[in-house]
Amino acid sequence: MKVLIAEDHGVVRQGLRALIEEEQDIEVVGEAEDGLEVMELAEQSLPDVILMDITMPNLNGVEATRFILENHPNIRIIALSVHFDKHFVMEMLRAGASGYVLKSYLFDEVLRALKTVAAGQHYLSPKITEVVLDDYIPLISKTEKSSKEHLTARERQVVQLLAEGKSTKQIARQLHVSPKTVDSNRRQVMKKLGISSVAELTKYAIREGLTSAEF
């Protein structure tokens, strides 16, 4: 694994290099002191992973990350920062970073982070995971309430049965209601969801986990 270190504090860079070079399968291919330099070195050395300080002179780590990934999307970038507030975290993740490590835990986590992102996964310091989840969970709740959760239990059941290929009469018998009631439920669901065909309804049911693609 080839690693490029972008960090404006020389002591931190030296510490990272010393730690990383103890690993037989990891090579440090360069060190940068600011965002402009890391962009140049990324072009020259084409590293597998860049350890990217967020707050650097001349060009910050967020903008450097955006530029590098636009030109080399296969490079993986791990943000290094003393900041754990939502603004810094989300800006770096939106820029395309695959990891975010707090400097307070840097030497404990950096090797694990490098190996994780090099394997195609994401790595976040535990404190950062809390920040992301605090922002993400309310969004998930809001999204769910705007679709599946505003259907009634009966409507969700009708959607599932329709998606599984049951006819109106079969659904009516199974639910002990009239075919007209089933038709009414189907029309109401389609209106709520803005869906105009059973095929679209089936895709919706699979996407929302009401049924599976095996039916």
In the predicted structure, residue 164 carries a pLDDT above the cut 60: yes
Instruction: Say if pTM beats, i.e. exceeds, 0.75.
Output: no
Residue 60 domain flag? yes
Residue 181 domain flag? yes
pLDDT of residue 96: 93
128 & 188 share domain: no
In the structure encoding, which two tokens stand for residue 133, read together?
Answer: 């989840």
114 & 72 share domain: yes
Residue 125 domain flag? yes
What is the count of structural domains for the chain?
2
DSSP 176: T
In the predicted structure, residue 33 carries a pLDDT above the cut 50: yes
| Burial (0-12, 13-18, 19+ Cβ within 10 Å), 89 | buried
Out of 114, 139, 164, a domain closes at 139
In the predicted structure, residue 140 carries a pLDDT above the cut 50: no
Say which amino acid occupies 176: H
CATH at residue 174: 1.10.10.10
134 & 153 share domain: no
60 & 155 share domain: no
Q: How far is CA 63 from CA 13, 171, 212, in A?
A: 20, 56, 42
Closest CA to 51 of 94, 15, 91: 15
3-state SS, residue 51:
strand
Residue 172: pLDDT band with limits 50, 70, 90: very high
Average pLDDT on 199-208 reads 85
83 & 177 share domain: no
Domain extent, residue 118, equals 2-139
Out of 112, 139, 166, a domain closes at 139
Residue 37: pLDDT band with limits 50, 70, 90: very high
Residue 160 domain flag? yes
Chain mean pLDDT for the chain = 86
Window from 14-18, 33-37, 206-210 with minimum mean pLDDT: 206-210
3-state SS, residue 33:
coil
25 & 130 share domain: yes
DSSP 45: H
Say which amino acid occupies 3: V
CATH at residue 110: 3.40.50.2300
Tokens 């049924």 found at: 211
- Residues 125 and 25: their CA atoms lie apart, in Å, by 23
